[in-house]
Structure 1
Amino acid sequence: MKRAVLAGLRWTSLRLRLVVVFALVALTAAVSASGIAYWLNREAVLVRTQDSALNDFRQGMQNRAASLPLQPTEHDLQVSAKQMADSSNSRYNVLLVAERAPGKPIVGASDVDGFTLEDVPASLQEAVTKKQKVTGSNAYPYHLFWQRITLHGRPYLVGGTKIIGAGPTGYMLAPLDQERRDLNSLAWSLGIATFLALLASALLAQAAATTVLRPVQRLGDAARRLGEGKLDTRLRVSGTDELADLSRTFNRTAEALEKKVTDMSAREEASRRFVADMSHELRTPLTALTAVAEVLDEEEDSLDPMIAPAVRLVVSETRRLNILVENLMEVTRFDAGTARLVLDDVDIADQITACIDTRAWLDAVELDAERGIMARLDPRRLDVILANLIGNALKHGGSPVRVSVRVEGEELVIAVRDHGPGIPEDVLPHVFDRFYKASASRPRSEGSGLGLSIAMENAHIHGGDITATNSPEGGAVFVLRLPLDATEPATPETPEGDAAQ
């Protein structure tokens, strides 16, 4: 369930990334297009209004202001300014400035309250009244200048020029409110268009993401089923695009994997059957050999000293071979999945004491366990685990071996520690491997190399585990962790002999 939720989050994240990318591209394109369109329309509107007003103003200056007397009165200036404003189609106010005498200016305005000389920027007044040198590229000493300004929060176009030949200076002030309203309407329209483009791109991104991600999701589901062991999983392939090629590749890979796993399973099954059959067939002659070896062992004192060592060797190897066959049969049951638990309520202290006493280890093992710690386990398999761990500690670490028992929550913890040299660091990862022996120079040790592996399998079937470490004080420490209640259904089976290494 958790994996499915995580997969759904990853799928949603990829969809979100696609939508965001589409939206960002659309937003960038829409904003760029809207910005360019707004800037072009703004310039066009302002330039059109500006040119119209300035042309009317220039024409008015030529027709009205130029016909004024050399020393006009204030009334003359006011009448001419009003006539220029009234005859214009651009709705501007006019201000005419002349001199009654040197240094004594007079002003006439079409609207005294609406336009005064203070409204004209000083820089514009300076540019208008400044006489320029007449050259081949400049035919007139005075020119028409203009500037866009803001007065009292409203936009205006202000322009000015001077009549050549001691004529009056004229200024015009044209409001740009209508142009601003038009441009604001255009900005709103472009903003709405940008939003609609963004919304459309999101919808298109959803559709595109669905088209792309649906095959990817199917591929992910198929890969999960394949990882869960359903090797017959295949994808339905349609189309000729890259996703279709990926699906075909997945199907070919799954088919090859299924064939290889089937072949390996068949070979593994054949190997298990061979080991099981061999172990079973060996038991009959081993039974006879064991009986003969026991008789020879009992008669060892009466044997000829020349043949006594050979008899001891035969007895020892026969016992070792018998243990190896029993271990092989146990391993075969684990591999075949036929091993089952026979559960019972066990007093852990009594179980460990019985294991130690049966094998005559009482003098070499120290037990730290409170009586009354009960667990529902398979006593035979627990005995196998303890026999292997304690026997391994006695063999490789030496006595005294300390066995301690504690309960952590719902878990039983049994630690087996020896006082030997410990386990080499390169050996630690392999101590539970089958047939692994730390010393290659001693291949004929008494153990079969299967004891710790069988102990681990018995821990796993209980739902537990075994770990191996080195103690800081010296020696190896094996820690067995088992649930206090192994609830796996039990299937009765014939008890087997010890699997001690």
Structure 2
Amino acid sequence: MRLLSVLYDRGAARLVRVWRRSLHFRVVSVTLVSSTLLVVTFSWLLASQITASQVGSKLNEAQNQLEQGRVYLEPQFRDRGEAADPGVNGFLRYATALLVPPTSTAPKDAAQNDKAASVPYYVLLEPTNPDFLKAVKPQSPQLEDTRAVQKAVPDDLRRTVKETRKSAYQYVRANPDSQGERPFIVVGTMVNTAMGEFSLYYLYPLDEQVSSASSVRTTVFVTGLALVLLLALLSALITHLVVGPVRIAARTAQRLSAGLLDQRMEVRGEDDLAALATSFNQMAANLQRQINRLEEMSRLQRRFTSDVSHELRTPLTTVRMAADMLFANREDFDPLAARSAELLQAELDRFEDLLTDLLEISRYDAGFAVLDTEAVDLVPIVTRVVERLRPLADRAQVELRTVVPDEPVIAEVDPRRIERVLRNLVGNAVEHGEARPVVVTLADGEGSAAVTVRDHGIGLNTGEDKLVFNRFWRADPSRARQTGGTGLGLSISLEDARLHGGWLEAWGAPGLGAQFRLTVPLRAGDRLLSSPLPLVPADAEPQLGPIPPDEPTRGVRHAS
């Protein structure tokens, strides 16, 4: 039973998967089910109507024959004597005990009346008073056969006929002739004579109607099954004609998305599908031209950025030498010239940082960036970055806090790039911390290590957690460029994280500050599944309320 249950579950899951993924299967299935229901309903109605028509026709025939029998029998008793009369005795033996098929040996007068019957039937004449038959001496060998006929007439019909004094009918299954039980229709009425009341019953077999109904049902079933199969075949063929080009278009689109820009659909005919293929090919050609154009522009831009950065190195070196000399001798200048030398030195530092970042971005754009990984302890790296930025934090009146584990956190990373990422994150937190504490936390677990940088400054608006990684993006466009770095720090940090196979994510809320999280695998090349630190800080959750399921922290374990 367990094996059958497992096989059933697998079959159901596979069927659901095919239903969801295959338009062809859905169309054929819906057509097959709907056509089956339609054909079954129509077949049932048709078979019921035909059977009802045949049985109704037989009922009308039986009722007409019953009325003719009643009209025939009533005059037969007028000129008869008492029941002991030999003529009456012989007639009653015939009337109460006679099997009357067309081939019977009944008296001529009765046989003449029964010629209208198309099939053998049975006649039963019963007196209302049972004592009436005492004078009858049953000597006919056919009298014994009437017992089965009398037994075939249901008592309910007898009561109905006697109580209503009208003709009635009923369907029964009986065996009046030892040929096996089969369906009959029994009609009965009252016959009033000078010798008393009699009940007259006719029993008509429905063998022909049953056989005809069975034949109709078989024919309708076979025809319906053939029609359902034909509809399924037609729907499969038509769906294939429609879905085939759509599948080809889907495969072609997948190849285009994979970078095979020369892929095209084959155009056949002049119908709507051919127009779809032609439009698709035109779209693909336009996309190829645009992508090639953008790639060429991007290549020229990267080359321009790289060339300009390199070309600026030489004059920058010369200007740097002159600026260093002026800066070193600024005490000999008047205050205005000394201040100019200090500003020149500061702007040259910013310019040099910008050139360095531009060169780094150009390496990433060109795909030349490579990792120089080694197994290092992340604790000293985090501590070193914080200590180097502590003077900057002191000037901004920001308290820097560090939370690191007591044990080493060994990870296979490029220490230079990791240190650059942390330096950018901590520097931004200090800049936007608004003289409030900044907390740097390091943790590891489940094959990954994470560093979070939490500030309590102005925070981020909705949607800005993705924009902060764009190049040259600023939260406040009106803010002067004299604050902040080059505008490329977080973009380079994101590329550094991706190069490690890690994550760099941001969270923020207005008035609640922001938190950035860097997660990298402990072993180079491993795939990240979770982070040991939450993206949303614990001190912000009570103010935010329950975190919805699609929050970035889904699948991330909270540190204990």
Same fold at TM > 0.5: yes
Partner of 1:414: 451
Partner of 2:369: 339
CA distance in 1, matches of 2:343, 2:15: 62
Partner of 1:252: 282
What is the TM-score with the length of structure 1 in the denominator? 0.80
Residues 389 and 416, structure 1, Cα contact 8 Å, conserved in 2: yes
CA distance in 1, matches of 2:82, 2:26: 76
Cα–Cα, structure 1 residues 421 and 22, in superposed 2: closer, same or farther, change >3 Å? Answer: closer
Residues 403 and 439, structure 2, Cα contact 8 Å, conserved in 1: yes
CA distance in 1, matches of 2:459, 2:473: 17
Q: Read off the aligned partner of 1:115 and give its amino acid letter.
A: Q
Partner of 1:155: 183
Instruction: Tell me, yes or no, if structure 1 residue 404 matches structure 2 residue 404.
Output: no
Q: What secondary structure sits across from 1:229 in the alignment?
A: coil
CA distance in 2, matches of 1:360, 1:61: 125
Partner of 1:140: none
Instruction: Tell me, yes or no, if structure 1 residue 482 matches structure 2 residue 520.
Output: yes
CA distance in 2, matches of 1:294, 1:6: 76
Residues 92 and 175, structure 1, Cα contact 8 Å, conserved in 2: yes
Moved more, 222-231 or 182-191: 182-191
Cα–Cα, structure 1 residues 465 and 6, in superposed 2: closer, same or farther, change >3 Å? Answer: farther
Cα–Cα, structure 1 residues 472 and 485, in superposed 2: closer, same or farther, change >3 Å? Answer: farther
Partner of 1:465: 503
Unmatched segments (≥5 aa) in structure 1: 131-144, 489-501
Moved more, 202-211 or 62-71: 62-71
Q: Read off the aligned partner of 1:233 and give its amino acid letter.
A: Q
Q: What secondary structure sits across from 1:306 in the alignment?
A: helix
- Please give the residue correspondences for 1:374-413 in structure 2 after superposition, counting only pairs within 5 Å: 374-397=410-433, 398=435, 401-413=438-450
Q: What secondary structure sits across from 2:336 in the alignment?
A: coil
CA distance in 1, matches of 2:124, 2:487: 115
CA distance in 2, matches of 1:402, 1:22: 64
Residue deviations 1:396-433 (CA, integer Å, cap 9, x gap): 22475432211121111112234545445575442222
Moved more, 432-441 or 405-414: 432-441
Partner of 2:238: 208
Cα–Cα, structure 1 residues 428 and 47, in superposed 2: closer, same or farther, change >3 Å? Answer: closer
How many angstroms does 1:241 deviate by? 3.1
CA distance in 1, matches of 2:325, 2:16: 68
Moved more, 256-265 or 77-86: 77-86
How many angstroms does 1:360 deviate by? 6.3
CA distance in 1, matches of 2:201, 2:449: 103
Partner of 2:149: 114
CA distance in 2, matches of 1:380, 1:254: 43
Residues 74 and 193, structure 2, Cα contact 8 Å, conserved in 1: no
Residues 501 and 525, structure 2, Cα contact 8 Å, conserved in 1: no
How many angstroms does 1:318 deviate by? 1.4
Residue deviations 1:362-420 (CA, integer Å, cap 9, x gap): 98644333453221111221121122112222222247543221112111111223454
Partner of 1:96: 125
Cα–Cα, structure 1 residues 336 and 308, in superposed 2: closer, same or farther, change >3 Å? Answer: same
Q: What secondary structure sits across from 1:235 in the alignment?
A: coil
Partner of 1:280: 310
Cα–Cα, structure 1 residues 27 and 306, in superposed 2: closer, same or farther, change >3 Å? Answer: closer
Residues 66 and 163, structure 1, Cα contact 8 Å, conserved in 2: no
How many angstroms does 1:313 deviate by? 1.4
- Aligned pair count reads 467
CA distance in 1, matches of 2:430, 2:259: 42
Q: What secondary structure sits across from 1:111 in the alignment?
A: helix
Cα–Cα, structure 1 residues 125 and 186, in superposed 2: closer, same or farther, change >3 Å? Answer: farther
Residue deviations 1:260-308 (CA, integer Å, cap 9, x gap): 2222222222222222222111111111111111111111112222311
Residues 347 and 372, structure 1, Cα contact 8 Å, conserved in 2: yes
Partner of 1:142: none
- The higher relative CO (CA closer than 8 Å, separation ≥ 6) is in 1
Q: What secondary structure sits across from 2:474 in the alignment?
A: coil
Residues 71 and 99, structure 1, Cα contact 8 Å, conserved in 2: no
Q: What secondary structure sits across from 2:146 in the alignment?
A: coil
CA distance in 2, matches of 1:48, 1:6: 50
What is the TM-score with the length of structure 2 in the denominator? 0.73
Q: What secondary structure sits across from 1:479 in the alignment?
A: strand
CA distance in 2, matches of 1:286, 1:79: 139
Moved more, 164-173 or 13-22: 164-173
CA distance in 2, matches of 1:428, 1:202: 53
Residues 365 and 399, structure 1, Cα contact 8 Å, conserved in 2: no
Cα–Cα, structure 1 residues 112 and 404, in superposed 2: closer, same or farther, change >3 Å? Answer: closer
Partner of 1:79: 94
- Please give the residue correspondences for 1:160-199 in structure 2 after superposition, counting only pairs within 5 Å: 160-161=188-189, 169=198, 170-199=200-229
How many angstroms does 1:235 deviate by? 0.9
Alignment equivalent of 1:451, drawn from 461, 480, 489: 489
Residues 417 and 478, structure 1, Cα contact 8 Å, conserved in 2: yes
Cα–Cα, structure 1 residues 240 and 7, in superposed 2: closer, same or farther, change >3 Å? Answer: farther
CA-based RMSD? 3.6
Residues 72 and 98, structure 1, Cα contact 8 Å, conserved in 2: no
Cα–Cα, structure 1 residues 286 and 92, in superposed 2: closer, same or farther, change >3 Å? Answer: same
Q: What secondary structure sits across from 1:459 in the alignment?
A: helix
How many angstroms does 1:41 deviate by? 3.1
Moved more, 107-116 or 22-31: 107-116
How many angstroms does 1:70 deviate by? 5.1
CA distance in 1, matches of 2:458, 2:128: 119
Q: Read off the aligned partner of 2:494 and give its amino acid letter.
A: M
Moved more, 416-425 or 244-253: 416-425
Identity %: 30
CA distance in 1, matches of 2:387, 2:424: 14
Cα–Cα, structure 1 residues 94 and 257, in superposed 2: closer, same or farther, change >3 Å? Answer: same
CA distance in 2, matches of 1:48, 1:446: 101
Moved more, 329-338 or 418-427: 418-427
Partner of 2:553: none
Residues 71 and 98, structure 1, Cα contact 8 Å, conserved in 2: no
Cα–Cα, structure 1 residues 97 and 423, in superposed 2: closer, same or farther, change >3 Å? Answer: closer
How many angstroms does 1:48 deviate by? 4.6
Q: What secondary structure sits across from 2:150 in the alignment?
A: coil
Residues 146 and 157, structure 1, Cα contact 8 Å, conserved in 2: no
Cα–Cα, structure 1 residues 95 and 423, in superposed 2: closer, same or farther, change >3 Å? Answer: closer
Unmatched segments (≥5 aa) in structure 2: 1-13, 105-110, 137-142, 175-180, 527-560
Cα–Cα, structure 1 residues 455 and 84, in superposed 2: closer, same or farther, change >3 Å? Answer: closer
Instruction: Tell me, yes or no, if structure 1 residue 14 matches structure 2 residue 37.
Output: no
Cα–Cα, structure 1 residues 95 and 371, in superposed 2: closer, same or farther, change >3 Å? Answer: closer
Partner of 1:219: 249
Q: What secondary structure sits across from 2:486 in the alignment?
A: coil
Partner of 1:322: 352
Partner of 1:133: none
Partner of 1:351: 381
Residues 459 and 511, structure 2, Cα contact 8 Å, conserved in 1: no
CA distance in 2, matches of 1:61, 1:426: 98
Cα–Cα, structure 1 residues 12 and 310, in superposed 2: closer, same or farther, change >3 Å? Answer: closer
